[in-house]
Amino acid sequence: MTQQSLRNIAIVAHVDHGKTTLVDKFLKQSGSFRERQFVPERVMDNNDLERERGITILSKNTSITYQNTKINIVDTPGHADFGGEVERIVNMVDGVLLLVDAFEGPMPQTRFVLKKALDAGLKPLVVVNKIDRPDCRPHEVLDEILDLFIDLGADESQLDFPVAFASAKAGFAKINLQDASDDMRPLLDLIIREIPAPEGDVDSPLQLFISSIDYDSYLGRIGTGKILNGTISRNQEAILCNISGKQQRVKISTLSAFEGLKKVEMQNCAAGEIVVVSGIEDIAIGDTICSLESVNPVPFVSIDEPTISMNFVVNNSPMAGLEGSYVTSRHLRDRLMRELLANVSLRVEEITPDCFKVSGRGELHLSILIETMRREGYEFAVTRPEVILKNIDGQVCEPMERLFVEVPDEFVGTVIEGVGRRKGELLNMANGAGTLMKLEFLIPARGLIGYRSEFLTDTKGNGILNHIYENYQPFKGELRTRSRGSLVASDSGTAVTYGLHNAQERGTLFIDAGAEVYAGMIVGENARSVDITVNVCKKKHLTNTRASGADDALRLVTPVEMSLEKCLEFIDDDELLEVTPKTLRLRKLILDKGERDKASGSKNKNRVS
């Protein structure tokens, strides 16, 4: 039995190929907004970080009604680090709308999201987007998409995919390039015609599979999922089955469905609908809500394992507790455990009461968590990101990434040399558009830590870099990616111009005059490969012939502004990043210089022996 007046689709694509913009146009042209209502661009990216960075981080649900058919839409992230958001929603939809840029063609994440969709048996509908670009090549891109389908082992029915051409930004779609169109109706007609209606028997016992978890301070945990069979009602009693096999009796306090950007309370909903339920304290992603008379849980789709980890530790610097609202180990532990409820790709392991090993898909995955926590008032410190090694058949193996680079031909030699230093192996080189060259490498994931900023410097900002997890391979040997040491403050106090002027002759500064520092805090990067201590608080001694205003003649170079990503790329194994709601501070793990020298001597002695 199918629900003919219902369609459930997910929009998947590589980052920046236009998913969220397309959803904007669907919502606007379907009448989801009032005529004079102000609607911001990328309305689905309602998280502050998403709007600032211009990327989608979390999968989100919405719906539109077109020709008496309700279309539930899931907008998914395009970045590889948030692939778990794509993996967890495959049970929620019956088809995917694969969006591909008419100039760039299939990109690394296009391959990843399409493979997940094909493996789940979902019906694909291809949309070649941005056909209004002057340099677009829609027919060539369509051939590349077909090659990708074949390469991923698509079956006969999947290879016969429907195609539409669109400009999400301009708000139109067409089935043939020569057609005239000024809206999205041709694409919406194609969705209703080609995407199968959800299957499920409304008369069978209830099966509701939970694919997403949110949290509300009033309602508690909120679960979103698709009703696979049966019907569900408000205040209904049911059985909650989690992925470990545990079962408990629960009551559905509230029941809602999506209408546009709103959640509308419902009295009951039937098979095929995507719903939101609350009132269940222990609900988690992968759980199944079943009827009392028939308990039949749904198997959970396996999620790819994390490849990068870092330690989150309680801040113990001299400035600890001055800027954060949540600073204790209990606060840190509770927040990380709460993150596990919704972030299916994340893993948290308690090493000590004050230290937690947090593992994720990549640097961006973990940096978004760090930035979110600091904006919520948390204060803590983190270690350098490191890859997760595995023992496979008695051999130590490490995660490998497939790296895709697009650069002007004048930078090809520099990029190959830079990736080679990081144990990268060139697999393929091809001509791109104009003077661009496309390079493909296989590189250890640890070789990519800190490489993005180096890459942008090497290519003078003209290169494009993408990467995606490949597999685990035998360890490639020691790798030294940082060639310069740190400038470490020798004294605590306020940085002054005279002390900074002396320090800047040794390297590059990260702080300006007036910044509060403490002994052991990193204030810059040394021009050489070793760490040196500098006294940035040192003031010029006054004499009878030297005026107190003599410092005015000193000129300081503008310090380098260290973003969160730059800090994570910079820190070494013996360093920490102190994170507070107001400040990011780099510091040595051991603050006292004498203790650091002893530890360094012991380390070198152990190496020699």
DSSP letter string over 513-563? Answer: TT-EE-TTEEEEEESSSS-EEE-TT--PPP-TTS-GGGGGG--PPPPPP--
End-to-end, the C-alpha distance of the chain in Å comes to 73
| Residues 23, 422: Cα–Cα separation, whole Å | 40
132 is in an annotated binding site: yes
Q: What is the pLDDT of residue 342?
A: 72
What was the pLDDT predicted at 607? 35
> pLDDT tens across 351-378, in order?
999 999 999 887 878 888 998 899 999 9
Domain finish residue from 290, 319, 342: 290
18 is in an annotated binding site: yes
What range does the domain containing 327 cover? 305-389+562-590
Interstrand relation of 308-313 and 380-382 (parallel, antiparallel or unpaired): antiparallel
- The DSSP H or E segment spanning 319 is none
Residue with the larger pLDDT of the pair 199 and 14: 199
d(CA 147, CA 502): 60
Number of domains in the chain: 5
Contact 305, 312 (CB under 8 A): no
Q: How far apart are the C-alpha atoms of 544 and 216, rounded to whole Å?
A: 67
19 is in an annotated binding site: yes
CA pair distance 227, 247, nearest whole angstrom: 18
Q: What is the mean pLDDT of residues 531-539?
A: 90
Same structural domain, 525 and 567: no
From the list 319, 529, 503, the residue with the least C-alpha distance to 511 is: 503
Statement to judge: residues 108 and 238 lie in one domain? no
Q: What is the DSSP string of 364-426?
A: HHHHHHHHHHHHTTB-EEE---EE--EEETTEEEEEEEEEEEEEEGGGHHHHHHHHHHTT-EE
**What pLDDT is attached to residue 44?**
45
393 labelled binding-site residue: no
Task: Give the residue from 266, 290, 314 where a domain finishes.
Answer: 290
Give the pLDDT band of residue 40 (cuts 50, 70, 90).
very low
Average pLDDT over residues 154-158: 84
Work out the pLDDT band at 311, boundaries 50, 70, 90.
very high
pLDDT band at 83 (very low <50, low <70, confident <90, very high): low
What CATH number does the domain containing 333 carry?
A: 3.30.70.870
> Is 458 marked as a binding-site residue?
no
Report the pLDDT value the prediction gives residue 85, as an integer from 0 to 100.
Answer: 58
pLDDT: is 498 or 47 the higher one? Answer: 498
Asked whether 40 and 47 are in contact (CB, 8 A), the reply is no
User: Looking up tokens 């530790």, which residue turns up?
Assistant: 313
CATH number at residue 538: 2.40.50.250
Question: Does 603 appear as a known binding residue?
Answer: no
Angle at 448 between CA 88 and CA 78, to 5 degrees: 30
Domain C-terminal end among 147, 163, 194: 194
What confidence tens digit (pLDDT) does each residue in 536-552 have? Answer: 998 876 554 555 555 55
Known binding residue 175? Answer is no
20 is in an annotated binding site: yes
Residues 215-265 pLDDT 10s? 776 777 888 888 999 999 998 999 999 877 788 999 988 899 988 778 889
* Within-domain flag for 606: no
pLDDT at residue number 87: 65
**pLDDT tens-digit map of 554-567:** 788 889 888 888 88
430 and 513 share one domain: no
* 465 shares a domain with 401: yes
Mention every residue, 6+ apart, whose C-beta is less than 8 A from residue 149.
114, 118, 124, 158, 159, 161
- Give the pTM: 0.77
In terms of domains, do 160 and 80 share one?
yes
